[in-house]
Amino acid sequence: MKTIDDFNFANKKALIRVDFNVPLDANFNITDTTRIDAAKPTIDKILKDGGSAVLMSHLGRPKGPTPDLSLKHIVSKVSEILGVEVKFSEDCVGANAEQAAAALKPGEVLLLENLRFYAEEEKGDEEFAEKLSKLGDIYVNDAFGTAHRAHASTTIVAKFFSQNKCFGYLLAKEIEAIDKVLSSGEKPITAILGGSKVSSKITIIENILDKVDNLIIGGGMTYTFVKAQGGKIGDSICEDDKQELALNILKEAKAKNVAVYLPVDVVAADDFNNDANTKIVPVVDIPDGWQGLDAGPKTLENFKEVITASKTILWNGPVGVFEMPNFANGTKAVGDAIDEATQNGAFSLVGGGDSVAAVKQFGYEDKVSYVSTGGGAMLESLEGKKLPGIAAIYE
């Protein structure tokens, strides 16, 4: 894997695809700078080498030029975070951008206007990508969140850099983390999959059955599996048309020697509401009018035993309706068990959609080994797909 550590950027211009798609309030103040902070190490290294940096990103989903989504709103904050006065080009391609890039001296940084002001960006237009390529000597991709998109700046532009292209630190870390779980993880490897639906996780399950020793299934997905096996799930969430699929997964897991752990008891509620009445019942015997909204105590003991004995852990999806405090206990308990395993030397990766929100909400961010920054890109990686933005660097 070629990273920025394989290059000396002295007197070179790096064209860096960053993910500065940050949230802005009504006054265009950035409400969360995580993504800018995360890109800093890559930019710092390039400047420290004696190079200059041309930063390109999208912001929001504009259809053509949209002043509210101009990246000029973030220039002062980026300058503050980098500790360098960042210049701004009001067009991301063309004569102005080329002149601004050409005028950069070592140690200087230029931010280009929102790439998505051009429809060509998302179309992956080759001519547009070639125009972008004129702005740097070395192409650096450090935007994992868009690595699953074959856009001009994330993928197509790479072909104009022959060997002069590489991953930034952030993207390299994401690739390493996924690799540690799916290819080179120390055994026993455990995947914890939660969330609401089997249908949205099926491709991940199919891909990881070849890689893991243990599969913990929790959350709303549980009830499709339980019903398919003849259990009584009351009013719990269920995808009736996925029951056969659920049985096939269990059969396949058995054939591949993967131990599957499903909840044995649940916190059932008489309404989908934080203040509903609750009781602990066996997962196979949920009364009508009641629905399982969180994992029960015996279940959490079982999950904990498996998790704390694991050396590699992947967590995607909450095991209960964690947004409601009365049904967040299971998700927190899973987080605690992963924390314990990680302290004992396990590698733990959390990623994809809602799991990141849960991890942040409960403060597990610093307790797990790695939290992925890319929702959709992480899910596609776990599904075993080759991400175009990553493949383009290897080509």
Q: Name the site residues for ligand AMP (rule: CB under 6 A).
A: 194-197, 200, 219-220, 237, 292-293, 317-318, 320-321, 323, 353-354
3-state secondary structure of 316: strand
Look at strands 291-295 and 265-269 and give their pairing.
Answer: antiparallel
d(C-alpha 205, C-alpha 200), whole Å:
10
Please work out, in degrees rounded to the nearest 5, the angle formed at the alpha carbon of residue 226 by the alpha carbons of 225 and 229.
Answer: 90
Active site residue 197: yes
Query: Quick one: which of 128, 126, 159 has its CA closest to 141?
Result: 159
**Cβ 187 to ligand AMP, closest distance in Å?**
26
Active site residue 35: yes
Find residue 138's DSSP bridge partners.
Answer: 14
* Active-site pick, 77, 197, 304, 311: 197
Nearer to ligand AMP, 33 or 274 (CB): 274
Nearer to ligand AMP, 352 or 388 (CB): 352
Strands (E), the chain: 13-17, 52-56, 87-89, 109-112, 138-141, 165-167, 189-193, 214-217, 232-233, 259-261, 265-269, 278-282, 285-286, 291-295, 312-316, 347-350, 370-371
**Cβ 283 to ligand AMP, closest distance in Å?**
11
Active site residue 376: yes
* Active-site pick, 12, 35, 173, 180: 35
**Cβ 21 to ligand AMP, closest distance in Å?**
20
Q: Which residue is nearest to ligand AMP (CB)?
A: 195
Please work out, in degrees rounded to the nearest 5, the angle formed at the alpha carbon of residue 97 by the alpha carbons of 95 and 103.
Answer: 100
The one-letter amino acid at 171: L
* Active-site pick, 50, 107, 353, 384: 353
Nearer to ligand AMP, 51 or 220 (CB): 220
**Cβ 386 to ligand AMP, closest distance in Å?**
23
Nearer to ligand AMP, 51 or 335 (CB): 335
Contact 152, 173 (CB under 8 A): no
* Active-site pick, 50, 107, 376, 384: 376
**Cβ 172 to ligand AMP, closest distance in Å?**
26
Nearer to ligand AMP, 81 or 324 (CB): 324
Active site residues: 35, 197, 353, 376
